């Protein structure tokens, strides 16, 4: 609170009537309290950053669980399998997992001339382009950014049929052999 000094004795005693000099001293404690209240209010009412989310469309679950969903056998010539690894390394193949060797697991990158070109070539060479499917297999070494990048490639190449699945044991063995070699 503000305090006023109201002492009337000037200490001179010369008998002259003088105007009283009053010193004003302002107490800043309430102002500091008000400042902290305002800071607290703005901190609690401000959104620091909005969460970044990606929309992932999942098929609806059938109400009738006794009826099995229709499955269609897809030939290897109508698919391309993409294996995502560590250090932003990406591999692809068009073989059955049991026939896969490290020489058949081709390495690429996430550039326009890399995996996008490989997907488009496989799509053009597919026997039936209407059922061309991309099988995405992220390993434990792959990052979230790699998954987002490959999903962006699905949109860019207009591949409507793709699946994200775990790599098979055979593919993991071939991947480990391939990842041991230096990046090409």
**Is 108 strand, coil or helix?**
strand
Cα–Cα distance measured from residue 56 to residue 58, given in angstroms and rounded to the nearest whole number = 6
Query: How far apart are the C-alpha atoms of 1 and 26, rounded to whole Å?
Result: 7
- More confident of the two residues 136 and 11: 136
> In the predicted model, what is the mean pLDDT of residues 124-137?
84
pTM for the model stands at: 0.60
Comparison of pLDDT for 57 and 92, the residue scoring more: 92
Q: Per CATH, the architecture of 76-180 is what? A: 2-Layer Sandwich (3.30)
Per-residue pLDDT at 172 exceeds 90: no
Which two tokens mark 35? 């400042």
Question: Which helix (H) or strand (E) element contains residue 80?
Answer: strand 79-84
Enumerate the domain spans of the chain.
Answer: 76-180
d(CA 12, CA 130): 107
Q: Which residues pair with 136 in a beta bridge?
A: 82, 164
Q: What is the pLDDT of residues 26-75, one digit of tens each?
A: 888 889 999 999 999 988 888 777 777 767 777 677 666 666 656 667 77
């Amino acid at each position: 609170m503000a305090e006023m000094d109201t002492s009337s004795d000037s200490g001179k005693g010369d008998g002259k009537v003088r105007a009283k000099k009053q010193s004003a001293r302002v107490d800043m404690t309430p102002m500091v309290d008000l400042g902290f209240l305002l800071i607290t209010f703005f901190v609690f009412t401000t959104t620091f950053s909005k969460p970044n989310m990606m929309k992932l469309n999942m098929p609806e679950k059938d109400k009738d669980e006794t009826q099995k969903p229709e499955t269609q056998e897809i030939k290897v010539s109508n698919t391309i399998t993409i294996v995502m690894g560590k250090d932003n390394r990406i591999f692809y193949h068009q073989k059955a997992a049991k026939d896969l060797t490290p020489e058949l697991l081709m390495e690429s990158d996430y550039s326009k001339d890399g995996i996008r070109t490989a997907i488009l070539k496989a799509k053009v060479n597919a026997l039936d382009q209407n059922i061309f499917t991309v099988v995405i297999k992220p390993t434990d070494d792959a990052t979230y950014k790699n998954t987002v990048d490959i999903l962006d490639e699905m949109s860019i190449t207009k591949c409507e049929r793709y699946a994200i699945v775990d790599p098979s044991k055979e593919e993991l063995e071939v991947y480990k052999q391939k990842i041991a070699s230096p990046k090409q």
